[in-house]
Structure 1
């Protein structure tokens, strides 16, 4: 009986260690049984999130690593003319990896800028700038381990702060996005 109790305690401790290693719980990062990041997970810029992904009629599993979130100069929005008035560009530099090995060529990953309080900036930029073009996945993004770098142009009201970005596409992320904090 003592051996069974000891084994039960050891199993409980091992489970607790695994959960703490994954950062389980609110405000942390949680990895689901399939290896993807759970909705609502919070990461730091530079950390990798594996997510189910669908775009342009294709689906698979990708990893997104947000490398940098930077506010660019107002002059970068000159091509937007009056539409860019009162706005600053936010450049989100990412590395995207094909984790599942399905054909994801021609797809594109989109994130949204968050303010210092973790809420959306409510400024969406359509199209990139010379400093941040927003590349789609290349033709060879069809095999497991394939990667490419891209930049997503977002926006913030002039004088505003950016606290990070969120990913809210598919599988429960729309209502509870994954976020990367600066």
Structure 2
């Protein structure tokens, strides 16, 4: 479990570049911030000019969606659908208990989402796709948490996630620094790194 503190602060515990370890998570730190403009409308969750994956079209980079809409993206050796179902304020007491003084000035948030096997490739041994929290303007929340905690664990797929239509639910723990909130989520793996798919409430 690693905690990256609010961006721009001076001390290691709060520095944007400081990483504090309390476990052996290998997910990595946050990637570049999301774009400030969209290249597709929210209605493009399964639209665009990309080649179809099963019965759904791949979501173009830069697409903006609402909570509850699905993005279809290439993932590992196959194609998956990602639907952000909720963004909830987390358990502050449990968060502080987990990270101690390093959680000072931070508020935890749970990004809950469903993953569906769209292409039919055997993805039963893959990890859950990573989502990052974003602020109301699509920008930084001032803090990034890597890992999970009770109530928001990053669930892994089981053997059934090997055929089209298989689904599972998972959660991503994120945080916001003082005065900020987690209002949305973004997916920025692979070809979406420079133009993420963004979900906003």
**TM-score normalised by structure 1 residue count:** 0.78
The counterpart of 2:72, out of the listed 50, 69, 81, is 50
Alignment of 1:111 with 2:124, yes or no, is no
**Partner deviation per Cα, 1:87-111 (whole Å, 9 max, x = no partner):** 1111011110000111111321110
The counterpart of 1:156, out of the listed 135, 155, 176, is 176
Kept in 1: contact 2:50–2:59 (CA 8 A): no
Kept in 2: contact 1:134–1:150 (CA 8 A): yes
Secondary structure at the counterpart of residue 50 of structure 2 = coil
Alignment of 1:33 with 2:46, yes or no, is no
Deviation (angstroms), 1:27: 5.3
**TM-score normalised by structure 2 residue count:** 0.71
List structure 1 runs of 4+ shifted beyond 2 angstroms.
29-33
Partners of 1:162 and 1:111 in 2: CA distance:
12
**Partner deviation per Cα, 1:62-86 (whole Å, 9 max, x = no partner):** 0001000112132121111222222
Partners of 1:157 and 1:76 in 2: CA distance:
17
Size of the alignment, in residue pairs?
153
Alignment of 1:83 with 2:102, yes or no, is yes
Aligned residue number for residue 24 of structure 2: none
Kept in 1: contact 2:63–2:198 (CA 8 A): yes
Kept in 1: contact 2:175–2:182 (CA 8 A): no
Aligned residue number for residue 128 of structure 1: 148
Partners of 1:162 and 1:169 in 2: CA distance:
20
Q: CA RMSD in A?
A: 1.5
Which residues of structure 1 form unaligned runs of 5+? 1-24
Higher Cα Rg, which structure: 1
Aligned residue number for residue 193 of structure 2: 174
C-alpha spacing 1:126/1:26, structure 2 compared with 1 (3 Å) = closer
Kept in 2: contact 1:112–1:120 (CA 8 A): no
Query: What is the correspondence of 1:66-105 to structure 2 with a 5 Å cutoff?
Result: 66-77=84-95, 78-105=97-124
Deviation (angstroms), 1:121: 1.6
Higher helix share: 1
